Homo-oligomer: A and B are copies of this chain.
């Protein structure tokens, strides 16, 4: 008998891009997978201990949820991002048994997915009629109802694979080839993945005061340590009008001295700053580190200051100024 497997929550329903993201996690296929009706519900399963982790969207132009994710991980009991997953936005047109492409008139999907397949539609089914669905997967699964009132659905390839009754009429019908959605796997706060050299760190930083310059001070904590940002979004905290926090993805791991130093700087400026995780980048791209922001440079700088404080005389320094007596 096998050991108890993991339990993963995800933003449902089954068959969406979010479940496709979850299936990229090595042991997810064997794990218990629990669809949740919204991001908060998925995260609460983790907070309550009912799930080990939850997969939720962080950058997704198809099915939404990003704002909910940003807000949910920044409020409530603390959580940690432990993994990032990219899923290509690939749409298929599916129908029930026996339906042919030329029969299709009424098509259901999520409104955003519909918007992203318009060029293909205009060319191939110009007379198509849009039937709004609550998600791409729900639209696809709805085809299996015997009293379904539409002919086909636009969805992720996954849902077609999961339901034998669905057949794919056309593949790769999205207008923007190469687009991706981005998801995060969220766990409880005691987890901190080891540095890999190609990591990302996510923080949520409330703006200390609504004045010109406060945002600059925050970003300067990264820039002055050579830490590149790959995402920034301001969000109202809901505490009072004009009060914001910034959700930020930065290159590197809190175990890197330059990132740790930047986080310390953030904490001083905005003590309610929330650390949301250091985790491997999905694209595996290693961070560029300038010599003066390397761990060695930080270590050497700290030693130098300590030698001053301890009154030890640093040996072998000759200075740099022109001096006849040097």
Q: Hey, which bits of chain A sit against chain B, CB under 8 A?
A: 13, 37-41, 43-44, 59-61, 64-68, 70-72, 74-78, 110-112, 114-119, 130, 132-135, 138, 175-176, 178-179, 189-192, 204, 206, 208, 210-213, 215-217, 219-224, 226-239, 241-242, 244-246, 254-255, 260, 263-265, 267-269, 271-272, 274-275, 283, 285, 292-293, 297-298, 300-302, 304-305, 308-309, 311-314, 317-326
Contact = CB atoms under 8 A, between A and B. Distances in A.
B235 A211 contact: no
B119 A324 contact: yes
B292 A39 contact: no
Contact of A321 (B238, B265, B292, B311): B238
Nearest to A229: B215
Nearest to A42: B115
16 contacts: A40-B118, A61-B68, A76-B319, A76-B323, A117-B324, A176-B238, A190-B313, A212-B222, A215-B219, A215-B229, A230-B244, A232-B233, A235-B321, A264-B298, A272-B319, A274-B320
Given A216-B220, A317-B274, A319-B204, A300 B238 contact: no
B66 A322 contact: no
Contacts of A234: 229-233
Given A78-B317, A134-B133, A300-B267, A325 B212 contact: no
A52 B133 CA distance: 28
A232 B215 CA distance: 10
A38 B228 contact: no
Given A68-B112, A68-B115, A216-B219, A320 B239 contact: yes
B130 A260 contact: no
A38 B112 contact: yes
